[in-house]
Amino acid sequence: MITTLKNWIEKLVWGDLLQEYGVAGRIVTGVLRNAYAVLRDIFSGQLTLRAMSLVYTTLLSIVPLIAVSFSALKAFGVHKDIEPHLYGVLQPLGAKGAEITDYVMDIVNKVDSNVLGSIGFIFFIYTAISMVQKIENSFNYVWYVSKPRSFATRLVEYSTVLIVGAIAVGLSVKALAEFSKDKLVVSMQENVALAPMFTVTDRLMPYLITISIFTFLYKFMPNTKVKLRSAVVGGVAAGFLWATTSMVFAAFLANSTNRQAIYASFAIAITALFWLYLNWLILLIGSQIAFYFQNPAYLRIGRREPRLSNEMRERVALNIMFLIGREFRNPVLGVSLRSLSRTLRIPSITLAPIAIGLEASGLITTNENENLLPGREMARISLGDILAVVRRNGETGSHRDPKWDDVIAELGSSIDAAIAKTLSEKSLADLIDKAEQGSS
């Protein structure tokens, strides 16, 4: 019975049954496929584990994170305008949520760099940046990105997010507050016909701010190119899910009378931790939706890494070195793991082990812009050296020196000798010369 039900769901979601009903059917099919894929990823455990890890990081980093952002906001005098919106994060917890936020904000306001000292203040900044790095790592996992930003890039971009981003949000909120006090706007709000519109706008504003923040994170946090449309779709989905979850969670707490009796004074702490966990999980779910919107081919296969045959791995290694060498001779935009993925139409998570092997063998290197370059003079990189990376490297375990039958050992030696004879006298430079002669 379970197998029959599973097969029916698979046919309904991945078949063409609903698409026969026109545009509405196609929309429903898209929603079902995304919901199916996201639920599959949640039940696989990785998203939930990363959400729990972010909760732990939040406990260590929330005060430094807010303090660093608020230090910039105070310089512009807009920290009081953004502070009320922080209470919205724990609003579903009711009065206790406001109490926790008051406590955190009291600590933040008392932070003084003179008291901390230089070493303490550097650690403070490091703790704040480490949380942003943890978020990036989670987003990189969702987007199949195997290589994070370099340290210098992280330092610049994270500082921009924490300081400039906070200032931008603060100034926007202050501008909206000043706009709402304008005489013309006040008179429009008092108008019987226009008042309902302003009421709806006031209620939607917190959700619009939340969606905007989610969209910003989905667009800029992953170390890959995310289309704005995909980030918006993920932001809207996560914002709607966050609003719905907030209402359900608040209603649950209001009707939960046994919680205090069971957990006593630990009740609010456990509830706050669970609410933080839900917030991080929603953030990751939105990122997953944005990923699937931009890469619908992954909807059905999920996180199953495409497996390459030995022949394919050899061709990938040769093609990676060819593209890197050609770009090195005639530099245009540079070659990165992301650009290789787009050119070869192979996920970067599949290319990464081969690229790492080539780098470990000294055949390629990475510059400060994360572009890939030949590791040595291309005339000294034989094609045999490139194939050796995927043919011989990467073995693990106790089977490195197996006992072959004599006939198998002889056949293997003959294959190795044939490959060496064919490729050892040909270098990467020769391969690129041949391609340039053929195109001229």
Distance CA 14, CA 30 (A): 10
User: 34-43, 56-65, 196-205: which range is least confident on average?
Assistant: 196-205
Residues 55, 276 contacting (CB under 8 angstroms): yes
User: 47-56, 224-233, 302-311, 344-353: which range is least confident on average?
Assistant: 302-311
User: 180-194, 217-231, 422-436: which range is least confident on average?
Assistant: 180-194
Residue 235, pLDDT score: 92
The Cα-based distances of 66 to 150, 169, 252, 357 in angstroms read 24, 13, 29, 41
Spell out the SS3 assignment of 129-142: HHHHHHHHHHHHHH
- A 10 A CB-CB count for 337 gives 22
Q: Where are the alpha helices (DSSP H) in 191-309?
A: 195-220, 228-254, 258-263, 267-294, 298-301
Q: Which of 177, 152, 147 is nearest to 186 (CA)?
A: 177
Task: Out of 95-99, 108-112, 356-360, give the one with best mean pLDDT.
Answer: 356-360
Residue 439, pLDDT score: 67
What is the pLDDT confidence band of residue 199, given thresholds at 50, 70 and 90? low
Residue 359 has pLDDT above 60, yes or no: yes
209 and 61 belong to one structural domain: yes
Both structure tokens of 383:
């094609």
Pairwise pLDDT comparison (4 vs 221), residue with the higher score: 221
Q: In what helix (H) or strand (E) does residue 365 lie, and over which residues does it extend?
A: strand 364-366
Residues 148, 223 contacting (CB under 8 angstroms): yes
Place of tokens 């303090």: 67
Instruction: Single out the residue in 301, 330, 363 at which a domain terminates.
Output: 301
Please name the amino acid found at residue 277. Y
Residue 290, pLDDT score: 93
- What is the arithmetic mean of pLDDT over 279-300? 88
Both structure tokens of 5:
């039900």
Residue 237, pLDDT score: 92
Across-strand partners of 410?
none
241 and 164 belong to one structural domain: yes
Please name the amino acid found at residue 159. S
3-state secondary structure of 382: strand
Residue 165, pLDDT score: 62
- What is the arithmetic mean of pLDDT over 110-118? 55
Residue 381 has pLDDT above 70, yes or no: yes
Side-chain-side CA neighbours of 348 within 13 Å: the count stands at: 21
Across-strand partners of 372?
366
What is the pLDDT confidence band of residue 164, given thresholds at 50, 70 and 90? low
Residues 154, 129 contacting (CB under 8 angstroms): yes
Instruction: Single out the residue in 301, 329, 346 at which a domain terminates.
Output: 301
Residue 287 has pLDDT above 70, yes or no: yes
288 and 252 belong to one structural domain: yes
Using a pLDDT cut of 70, give the percent of the chain over it: 67
Residue 338, pLDDT score: 79
248 and 354 belong to one structural domain: no
Residue 22, pLDDT score: 74
User: What's the whole-model pTM score?
Assistant: 0.66
Residue 432 has pLDDT above 70, yes or no: yes
* Contact residues for 184 (Cβ-Cβ < 8 A; gap 6+): none
User: 26-40, 243-257, 355-369: which range is least confident on average?
Assistant: 243-257
11 and 85 belong to one structural domain: no
The CATH number for 417's domain is 1.10.10.10
Residue 49 has pLDDT above 80, yes or no: yes
Mean pLDDT of the chain: 77
Rg of the Cα trace of the chain? 28
What is the pLDDT confidence band of residue 259, given thresholds at 50, 70 and 90? low
Q: What is the dihedral of CA 201, 207, 212, 213, to 10 degrees?
A: 140
35 and 54 belong to one structural domain: no
- Could you read off the pLDDT of 325-340 as tens digits, one per residue? 999 988 888 888 878 8
Residues 230, 282 contacting (CB under 8 angstroms): no
124 and 29 belong to one structural domain: no
Task: Out of 96-110, 375-389, 407-421, give the one with best mean pLDDT.
Answer: 375-389
Instruction: Single out the residue in 280, 301, 322 at which a domain terminates.
Output: 301
Residue 121, pLDDT score: 60
49 and 39 belong to one structural domain: no
Residue 261 has pLDDT above 60, yes or no: no
Place of tokens 């955190």: 104
* Contact residues for 126 (Cβ-Cβ < 8 A; gap 6+): none
- A 10 A CB-CB count for 414 gives 10
Residue 190 has pLDDT above 70, yes or no: no
What is the pLDDT confidence band of residue 74, given thresholds at 50, 70 and 90? low
78 and 147 belong to one structural domain: yes
286 and 352 belong to one structural domain: no
- Residue span of the structural domain in which 14 resides: 2-43
Place of tokens 């992301």: 338
259 and 376 belong to one structural domain: no
Residue 316, pLDDT score: 92
How many domains, the chain? 3
264 and 413 belong to one structural domain: no
